[in-house]
Amino acid sequence: MAAQAARPVVPVRTVDVTGSRCPMTFVRVKVALDGLAPGEVLELVLLEGEQMQDVPKNLKDEGHRVLAVVRKGPKYHLLVRKGEP
């Protein structure tokens, strides 16, 4: 189902933003990523619909990389590697 990274990737932390609404979703994702060093991995939990329509493309725009996606019902768990600033 999910894209597999070459070796197991261990997230530094998990942030579930499924209870947030725009623009707080973006703020929480940004704050969570700001707390990581480039190359470190965040597990991000997003809700299907608006969050999944908006957040992944913004992660890519900002130079981060989605390594794996696992869907659990309406929730998506994304492993996101922080990009270089």
Partner 1 sequence: MIRDGHAPGRGGPAAQAPPGEGRGAEPDYKALKAGGMVRQRQKDRFTVRLKCPGGRVPLERLARIAEVARRYGGQYVHLSFRQSIEIPYVALEDLDRVRRELAEAGQEIATCGARVRVPTACSGCEYNPNGLTDTQKMAADVAARFFGRGPFAHKFKMSFSGCPIDCARTSENDLGFQGAVEPRWDESACTACGLCAAACREGAIELAAGTNKPRYRRDKCLFCGDCIRACPVDAWQAQRTGWMVRVGGKHGRHPIVGARIAAMLPDANVSGLIEAVISWYEKNAAGKGRIRLGALLQDPAAWRRFLADIGPVLGEWAAPDPAPPRPCEIHF
Question: d(Cα 74, Cα 60) in Å, to the nearest integer?
Answer: 22
Encoded one letter per residue, x for contact with partner 1 by CB under 8 A and - for no contact, window 4-33 reads x-----------------------------
Distance, CA of 33 to chain centre = 9
Helices marked H in 1-85: 24-34, 50-61
Can you tell me which of 13, 21, 30, 57 binds partner 1, judged by CB under 8 A? 57
Q: Confirm or reject binding of residue 45 to partner 1 (CB under 8 A).
A: no
Can you tell me which of 69, 75, 77, 83 binds partner 1, judged by CB under 8 A? 69
Q: Count Cα neighbours of 50 within 13 Å in the Cβ-side half-sphere.
A: 10
Q: Which residues bind partner 1 (CB under 8 A)?
A: 1-4, 48, 52-53, 56-58, 60-61, 65-69, 71, 76
